[in-house]
Amino acid sequence: MTARIDEQIAQATRHAEQMQEWAREVDALTAEGTALRGNIRVVVDHSGVVQSVRVTQAGCDAGAAALSAGVMDALKAAYQAVGDAVARSAATRFGEDAEVTRVMVDDLSARLGVRVDPTPEDPRGRYPDGRIG
């Protein structure tokens, strides 16, 4: 019985260490969203807090309405990118079907207002066979 308890304690300790390591990894994540052909750039941290907003002169020249819409578009793109990055990090470390991954996906989707995707990205990009259309 003591051996079983010792094993459970060791398992819980390993899990806690793994979670702390993953938390440090996630804390370092940032993502960028762009709009107006890259003339507006927004960077957010792992929780969606805006770290920077950069607008070129061309972005300013687009007019107030386009600038406002562009900032919001870039922010939403940054939210999507960081949400996906955090979810993919959880899926890679714990598995796509793991409870921690599901909790992160649900939380990020609700908090950031985007549909977070934990599926690892194909390194070949959007068109794996190299053809468009």
Q: Is the pLDDT of residue 125 over 60?
A: no
Q: Flag whether the pTM goes above 0.95.
A: no
Strand pairing report for 50-55 and 30-35: unpaired
Residue-level pLDDT at 90: 93
| Residue 71 dihedral angles phi and psi, to the nearest 5° | -60, -45
> Residues 58-97: pLDDT tens digits?
999 999 999 999 999 999 999 999 999 999 999 999 999 9
pLDDT band at 132 (very low <50, low <70, confident <90, very high): very low
CB of 84 within 8 A of CB of 110? Answer: no
Banded pLDDT at 18 (limits 50, 70, 90): confident
Output Rg (C-alpha) for the chain, integer angstroms. Answer: 19
Domain ranges of the chain: 23-112
**23-112: in CATH 3.30.1310.10:** yes
Distance of alpha carbon 124 from alpha carbon 105, whole angstroms: 24
Distance in angstroms (rounded) separating the CA atoms of residues 48 and 67: 20
Task: Please check the confidence at residue 123 and state whether its pLDDT lies above 60.
Answer: no
Q: Which residues pair with 30 in a beta bridge?
A: 45
